[in-house]
Structure 1
Amino acid sequence: MQDYSLHPIEMVASFSRNFTLIRASVKREVFGRYRGSFLGILWSFFNPLFTLGVYTFVFSEVLKARWSVGSSSKVEFALVLFAGLMSFNLFAECINRAPTLITNNPNYVKKVVFPLEILPCVVLGSALFHFCVSLCVWLLAYVVFYGVPHATVLYFPLVLLPFSIFILGASWILASLGVFLRDVSQFIGIVITALMFLSPIFYPASALPEGYRPLLYLNPLTPVIELSRDVLYWGKQPDFKLLGIYLLAASLVAWLGFVWFQKTRKGFADVL
């Protein structure tokens, strides 16, 4: 039986070795989602545009919501909320699909010599494409309502990098667990719903009593959502110390997830 490398370098080596396959799979994943529809790939643009429009109307006109005390802006709440929601949607799309990545592709396990470890990379790549489209919609809305975005937008890739690494690690773990425990996919749906309301998406972290704020920051989505808003909307430099800690923690999660996946993949064929 083949032995699979558990070395951290193998994570990067596998990505580099299979980059052409990953790119082709991501392209097929993205275009396959809209195959047969009248507007095709344009739906990836209209969906976030419609969502942002609904949020702007509901929160600014119907609920008269404001993100900060004393703010008179009608669209601030919608833009700040959508900045956080983009990060959550990226996480939710990957994590929701992770438990069924292997079970939905049994031929890759049994009949084809296929680098199974790249499947979470393909899903992440597809999710990042839709994330970038949503980001373009957000930036377009910001330009329409406020003008030129802050220069701190250029820091955003630094926020996205450790978050993507963390998502990969979690996806490897869940993809493996989903083979042996089919209830994982049902459980993850509940967790994702809970995280949506336990993350500072619809409210600022400062709205919580001080005694609960440390618990909020145990949520891996909280730093990313807060840092995203800082660089995109508020025009603040990211907290580089927090980013560094997050990168180290995300890298550890990714390596542990990769090790778990490599150790358990030998049993996939027996279960499927």
Structure 2
Amino acid sequence: MSTITNTDAGKHSATPGSMFRSIWENRGVIWLLAKRDIQSRYKGSYIGLVWALINPLLMLLIYTFVFSVIFRARWAADAGESRTQFAFVMFVGVIVHGMFAEVVNRAPGIVLENTNYVTKVVFPLQILPVISLGNAIFQGLAGTVVLLLGMILSGGGLHWHALMLPLVFAPLLIMMVGIGWMLAALGVFIRDLKQTTMFVTTALLFLSPVFYPQSAWPQQYQWLFLFNPLTFIMEQSRQVLIWGAWPDLLGLLLYSLAALGIAWLGYFSFQRLRTGFADVL
């Protein structure tokens, strides 16, 4: 009996409804593969998943030393700002950028890494970028745990507004999976795309308000921040985690609508291009 492949499965629906339905119906597979993906990253190491906490802690210490000790950077003009406070404010941006970079950098090669799903069996290929999103969420969660523990141990305490962090992250995650779908599809045909995304995400690390506030940019270039998808989420994450204030709910609503549009565009692109995957793999 011949094996049915993904390209033989007929026309793949690309409607917004099928996008949500596909994720919901395959939630079990997504959970299992995401868990396996996370475990494989630390497989063979002596302390296993503990590295998920050690890595962000080491990053926090290194970035803090470089920017607050060597460059003597300050987030605010207030001379009384401590290095610890600067480190926490900065680390929020590092967490947001890290999640984004995890999905974007991996997306162009994720189908290439799983060619057996394309050519041998019927498999919901559209969930592959969602699986990588699960890894990004895990990394972001580990970083957030380190941040919250640091805030507690430093004596600063926590704000109850921190409970709203999932609300702030949600639209970014939606947008990330949309970008992931688009890059995953294009990466099958354009093999140099992975090198491009690595450059872009590295550039975004320094062009986003990670190590400095948005106000540090010259006034005539402030409009460029409107095209940076990370700026708004970084600022709102600091609002709830560091400053203990309500997020911009209207801004989050508008961001969510834009994120849903990007998600559907990415899903539509993936579903339309997937029929040609087997021809080039």
1:124 aligns with 2:133: yes
- CA distance in 1 between counterparts of 2:206 and 2:69 reads 22
Q: Secondary structure at the match of 2:171?
A: helix
**Match of residue 198, structure 1, among 182, 200, 207:** 207
- CA distance in 2 between counterparts of 1:91 and 1:52 reads 18
1:111 aligns with 2:120: yes
TM-score by length of 1: 0.97
Q: Give the % identical residues.
A: 46
* Residue 95 (structure 1) shift: 0.4
Does the CA-based 8 Å contact 1:60-1:75 persist in structure 2? no
2:33 aligned partner: 25
Does the CA-based 8 Å contact 1:60-1:66 persist in structure 2? yes
RMSD of aligned C-alpha atoms?
A: 1.2
- Paired AA for residue 196 in structure 2: F
Structure 1: which 5+ runs fail to align?
none
2:194 aligned partner: 185
Does the CA-based 8 Å contact 1:59-1:77 persist in structure 2? no
**Match of residue 152, structure 2, among 143, 146, 155:** 143
* Residue 211 (structure 1) shift: 1.8
**Match of residue 78, structure 1, among 87, 109, 124:** 87
- Paired AA for residue 249 in structure 1: A
* Residue 23 (structure 1) shift: 0.6
**Match of residue 53, structure 2, among 37, 40, 45:** 45
**Match of residue 262, structure 1, among 248, 256, 271:** 271
Structure 2: which 5+ runs fail to align?
1-7
2:17 aligned partner: 9
Q: Secondary structure at the match of 2:218?
A: coil
- CA distance in 1 between counterparts of 2:280 and 2:70 reads 52
1:176 aligned partner: 185
Q: Secondary structure at the match of 1:36?
A: coil
1:166 aligns with 2:175: yes
**Match of residue 98, structure 1, among 107, 126, 131:** 107
1:232 aligned partner: 241
Does the CA-based 8 Å contact 2:67-2:211 persist in structure 1? no
**Match of residue 253, structure 1, among 239, 248, 262:** 262
1:56 aligns with 2:26: no
